[in-house]
């Protein structure tokens, strides 16, 4: 057995000369040289990977926030910035933006503590996490290549000669390290990775991916550590297996706390058990492995995955992102899933026209060429997997990994307006990169490779060309994510039929003080989807800003009609009505809203302010304002300074000045305790009038 292990670890030159003894000086020299070369490549390849990643994603480091969840999560939302008890509780309980991602929020909190508003630091964290994921994948690839690249195959793979030693030698040769590096670089700098790395809101991809790949690495350590009771190191091996198993579970938990991507992990590990580990048919040291045992050891992962999956569905449902069957029926979902399975394969091979949004098309388009193209590709992949399962089982394993990993986002449970998304390929396409590395390694072990210098040169140049092309494409794709303007100007070219893309592009143009361009894009978006309430609201806001108030009122009114549950629209419409000297209509609008939705505090507070402070006495109503203001203040336990000020103002309007002064003084105490200087100054101004027996009106 020892001689066989040495023969497996020797260089190719020694293997071609069977007359060299394992104990000969030449043999030891070859082993030493092989060890030195392996050490060089084991360090050189990871360093090269990190350098290539930072070069490819250099534009992302200079990017800002884009108007695609970045602003909502990192600018408008502030609770993640506090690492105190309430902040941590919020991170570990919120479903904000439709995701349960406490670990991702925690990393944003650390970034804020270090960098503040400097977006460079946030993007740097994303790139570093991606680099760490790639390095982990590199070491996973080494371990898998030792099995997948081994010439022997078991009965599952169609070989009648089962090897007496199921574990390949532990030595990683320079060719193996290089081929693992090729697999890692093909994964790392592919343009499909840009969305996950350059988009800050999708940090959950790279963070979850890091711990996901770490889980696989620790599982490989667990599954490939010998557990033969006859071995002299049985106790040490058992301790290492237990340690590796527990670390695998920990990494799975951390991955799920960043994103629910690891729900597929139990099935993925079973795929690895079948190939290349071959545990499904033959256990360690040649002993049979019970199928039941392999499943039982996955039970903790299954429980974790089930819990995380249910929590993810609850988060999506809480944000209203789930599409009902009436809106997106079962035949459409099946057609979309066929297209999705084909989409990532083709985009891996030819990554052109990548964008941030690929909307769900109309039924006519979905059931036309898209369905035909998607179905043909899926059938071809299935035939390929079946045809090669015996002689080239790595292909079937890679396709199985891809299908299992991509399955949750194929649209059977549709969430969001996208049919497919680049970010969904982050983990699912790892198998394709590993398949390329495996094929290259198998080729490097053939006699044709050792005897044909042109083949070696051609393969090397081909790999270099692919890497350079991927670098260039990734660099250019990263440029697209520099700002909202660059992102959405590109998106309307990639997805011209997406109303969301046109509206987001219009938002970017509006921020860049280009109202004419913004108006044109809003109208394009509404032409594609007349019921797009976001487009209606944003267009109305722009019309208000440029002075077309009558048209703004019409758009706000339509938005209220189409989406009566969205509270901020009422306040915006009331503001525009007031500008048009229609304060009575604004008050009536807010009264109807408060009556139909008593929990809408924003509309209630606006109504209190209007009834208490509007200059026109025909609009004011102190008694009505006081009742409503007291209800709002009581809902906050009398501890909200702004609510207390509104109550004090309404009491003054009702002529109850003594009570008004007391309420304003309580508001002052709250404001001083919270350090709200702006509120303190406003209270001082109003309190002086209340003490003089005068109410406060706008303009006083």
Across 376-387, average pLDDT = 94
Least confident of 202-211, 223-232, 592-601, 655-664: 223-232
- The CA distance from 589 to 63, in Å, is 42
Task: Report the pLDDT value the prediction gives residue 162, as an integer from 0 to 100.
Answer: 38
Residue-wise pLDDT for 436-490, tens only, equals: 999 999 999 888 988 999 999 999 999 999 999 999 999 999 999 999 999 999 9
- Quick one: which of 425, 342, 435, 426 has its CA closest to 397? 435
CA angle 307, 434, 343 (to 5 degrees): 70
For helices 484-494 and 499-511, give the axis angle rounded to 10 degrees: 150
Across 62-91, average pLDDT = 91
Cβ neighbours for 405, distance < 8 A, ≥ 6 positions apart: 261, 264, 268, 427, 428, 431
- The CA distance from 656 to 492, in Å, is 58
Per-residue confidence band for 153, with pLDDT thresholds at 50, 70 and 90: very low
- Note whether 660 and 638 are within 8 A (CB): no
User: 584: helix, coil or strand?
Assistant: helix
Task: Please state the three-class secondary structure of 507-556 as a single string.
Answer: HHHHHCCCHHHHHHHHHHHHHHCCCCHHHHHHHHHHHHHCCCHHHHHHHH
- The CA distance from 628 to 608, in Å, is 7
- Note whether 656 and 618 are within 8 A (CB): no
- CA 117 vs. chain centroid, Å, equals 21
| DSSP bridge partners of 577 | none
Task: Report the pLDDT value the prediction gives residue 476, as an integer from 0 to 100.
Answer: 96
Cβ neighbours for 36, distance < 8 A, ≥ 6 positions apart: none
- Quick one: which of 107, 114, 109 has its CA closest to 211? 107
Q: Alpha-carbon torsion 27, 33, 37, 42, what sign?
A: positive
- The CA distance from 502 to 493, in Å, is 10
Asked if the bond preceding 609 is cis, omega within 30° of 0, the reply is no
- Note whether 509 and 485 are within 8 A (CB): yes
Cβ neighbours for 645, distance < 8 A, ≥ 6 positions apart: 663, 664, 667, 679, 682, 683, 686
- The CA distance from 270 to 249, in Å, is 15
User: 359: helix, coil or strand?
Assistant: strand
- The CA distance from 513 to 195, in Å, is 27
User: 130: helix, coil or strand?
Assistant: helix
Task: Report the pLDDT value the prediction gives residue 20, as an integer from 0 to 100.
Answer: 36
Task: Report the pLDDT value the prediction gives residue 4, as an integer from 0 to 100.
Answer: 36
Question: Across the chain, what does the average pLDDT equal?
Answer: 87
- The CA distance from 536 to 527, in Å, is 11
Residue-wise pLDDT for 288-300, tens only, equals: 457 888 899 999 9
For helices 299-318 and 234-258, give the axis angle rounded to 10 degrees: 10
Tokens of 230: 């006859």
Across 53-75, average pLDDT = 93
Q: Does residue 148 have a pLDDT over 90?
A: no
Per 3-state DSSP, what percentage of the chain is helix, strand, and coil (rounded to 5)? 75, 0, 25
Cβ neighbours for 323, distance < 8 A, ≥ 6 positions apart: 414, 415
Q: Does residue 190 have a pLDDT over 90?
A: yes
Total Cβ atoms within 10 A of residue 446 = 12
Task: Report the pLDDT value the prediction gives residue 59, as an integer from 0 to 100.
Answer: 95
> Quick one: what percent of the chain has pLDDT higher than 90?
68
- The CA distance from 539 to 532, in Å, is 11
Cα–Cα separations (whole angstroms), residue 460 to 175, 464, 465: 12, 6, 9
User: 621: helix, coil or strand?
Assistant: coil
Structural domains in the chain, sorted by start: 2-480 (no CATH), 601-609+619-700 (1.25.40)
Residue-wise pLDDT for 308-363, tens only, equals: 999 988 888 877 778 888 788 899 999 999 999 999 999 999 999 999 999 999 88
Q: Does residue 41 have a pLDDT over 50?
A: yes
Q: Does residue 164 have a pLDDT over 50?
A: no
Total Cβ atoms within 10 A of residue 136 = 21
* DSSP H helical ranges for 259-370: 265-274, 291-296, 299-318, 330-349, 363-365
- Note whether 646 and 612 are within 8 A (CB): yes
Q: Assign residue 396 a region: left if phi > 0, alpha if psi is -120 to 50, beta otherwise?
A: alpha
Q: Does residue 531 have a pLDDT over 60?
A: yes
Task: Please state the three-class secondary structure of 419-478 as a single string.
Answer: EECHHHHHHHCHHHHHHHHHHHHHHHCCHHHHHCHHHHHHHHHHHHHHHHHHHHHHHHHH
- Note whether 574 and 560 are within 8 A (CB): no
- The CA distance from 104 to 640, in Å, is 30
Query: What is the reported pTM?
Result: 0.85
Per-residue confidence band for 615, with pLDDT thresholds at 50, 70 and 90: very high
- Quick one: which of 173, 166, 170 has its CA closest to 152? 166
- Quick one: which of 336, 338, 341 has its CA closest to 405? 341
Q: Does residue 597 have a pLDDT over 70?
A: yes
Please name the residue that has the structure tokens 């007359």: 19
How many DSSP H helices and E strands does the chain contain? Answer: 35, 2
- The CA distance from 282 to 280, in Å, is 6
**Phi and psi angles of residue 419, each rounded to the nearest 5 degrees, phi first:** -80, -45
**Phi and psi angles of residue 20, each rounded to the nearest 5 degrees, phi first:** -75, 125
Task: Report the pLDDT value the prediction gives residue 321, as an integer from 0 to 100.
Answer: 75
Per-residue confidence band for 18, with pLDDT thresholds at 50, 70 and 90: very low
Run of H or E including 222: helix 203-224
- Note whether 396 and 389 are within 8 A (CB): yes
- The CA distance from 168 to 171, in Å, is 9
- The CA distance from 263 to 402, in Å, is 14
Per-residue confidence band for 54, with pLDDT thresholds at 50, 70 and 90: very high
């Amino acid at each position: 057995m020892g001689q066989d292990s040495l023969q497996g670890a020797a260089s190719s030159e020694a293997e071609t000369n069977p007359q060299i003894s394992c104990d000969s000086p030449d043999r030891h020299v070859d082993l030493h040289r092989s060890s030195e070369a392996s050490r060089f490549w084991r360090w050189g390849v990871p360093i090269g990977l990190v350098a290539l990643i930072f070069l490819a994603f250099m534009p992302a480091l200079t990017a800002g926030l884009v108007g695609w969840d970045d602003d909502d999560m990192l600018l408008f939302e502030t609770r993640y910035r506090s690492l105190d008890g309430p902040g941590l509780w919020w991170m570990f309980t919120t479903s904000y933006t439709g995701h349960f991602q406490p670990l991702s929020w925690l990393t944003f909190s650390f970034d804020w503590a270090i960098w503040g508003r400097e977006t460079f630091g946030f993007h740097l964290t994303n790139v570093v996490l991606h680099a760490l994921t790639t390095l982990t994948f590199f070491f996973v690839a080494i371990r898998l290549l030792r099995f997948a690249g081994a010439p022997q195959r078991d009965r599952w793979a169609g070989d009648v000669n089962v090897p007496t030693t199921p574990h390949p030698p532990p030595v990683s040769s320079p060719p193996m390290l290089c081929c693992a590096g090729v697999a890692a670089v093909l994964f790392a700098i592919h343009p499909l990775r840009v969305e996950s790395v350059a988009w800050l809101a999708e940090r959950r991809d790279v963070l979850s991916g890091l711990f996901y790949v770490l889980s696989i690495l620790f599982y490989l350590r667990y599954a490939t550590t010998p557990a033969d009771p006859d071995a002299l190191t049985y106790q040490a091996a058992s301790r290492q297996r237990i340690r590796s198993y527990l670390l695998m579970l920990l990494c799975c938990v951390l991955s799920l706390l960043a994103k629910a991507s690891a729900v597929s992990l139990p099935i993925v590990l079973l795929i690895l058990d079948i190939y290349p580990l071959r545990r499904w048919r033959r256990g360690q040291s040649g002993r049979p492995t019970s199928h039941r045992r392999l499943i039982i050891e996955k039970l903790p992962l299954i429980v974790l995955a089930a819990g995380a999956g249910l929590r993810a569905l609850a988060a999506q449902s809480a944000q209203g992102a789930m599409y009902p069957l009436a809106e997106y029926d079962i035949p459409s979902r099946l057609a979309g899933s066929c297209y999705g399975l084909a989409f990532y394969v083709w985009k891996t091979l030819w990554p052109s026209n990548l964008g941030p949004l690929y909307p769900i098309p109309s039924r006519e388009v979905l059931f036309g060429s898209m369905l035909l193209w998607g179905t043909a590709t899926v059938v071809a992949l299935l035939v390929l997997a079946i045809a090669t399962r015996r002689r080239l089982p790595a292909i079937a394993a890679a396709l199985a990994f891809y299908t299992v990993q991509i399955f949750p986002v194929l649209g059977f449970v549709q969430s969001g307006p996208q049919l497919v998304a680049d970010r969904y390929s982050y983990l699912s396409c790892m198998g394709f990169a590993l398949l390329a590395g495996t094929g290259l390694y198998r080729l490097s072990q053939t006699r044709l490779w050792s005897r044909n210098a042109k083949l070696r040169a051609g393969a090397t140049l081909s790999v270099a060309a692919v890497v350079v092309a991927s670098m260039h494409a990734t660099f250019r794709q990263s440029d697209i994510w520099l700002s909202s303007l660059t992102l959405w100007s590109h998106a309307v070219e990639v997805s011209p039929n997406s109303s969301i893309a046109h509206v987001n592009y219009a938002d970017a143009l509006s921020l860049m003080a280009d109202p004419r361009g913004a108006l044109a894009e809003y109208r394009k978006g509404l032409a594609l989807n007349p019921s797009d309430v976001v487009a209606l609201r944003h267009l109305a806001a722009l019309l208000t800003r440029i002075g077309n108030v009558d048209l703004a009122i019409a758009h706000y009114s339509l938005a209220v009609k189409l989406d009566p549950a969205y509270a901020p629209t009422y306040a915006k419409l009331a503001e525009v009505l007031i500008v048009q000297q229609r304060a009575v209509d604004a008050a009536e609008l807010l009264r109807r809203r408060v009556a139909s939705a008593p929990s809408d505090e924003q509309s209630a507070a606006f109504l209190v302010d209007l009834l208490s402070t509007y200059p026109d006495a025909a609009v004011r109503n102190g008694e009505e304002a006081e009742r409503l203001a007291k209800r709002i203040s009581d809902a906050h336990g009398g501890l909200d300074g702004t609510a207390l000020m509104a109550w004090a103002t309404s009491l003054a309007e009702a002529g109850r000045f003594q009570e008004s002064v007391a309420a304003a003084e309580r508001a002052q105490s709250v404001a001083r305790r919270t350090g709200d200087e702006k509120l303190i100054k406003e209270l001082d101004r109003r309190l002086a009038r209340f003490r003089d027996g005068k109410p406060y009106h706008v303009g006083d």
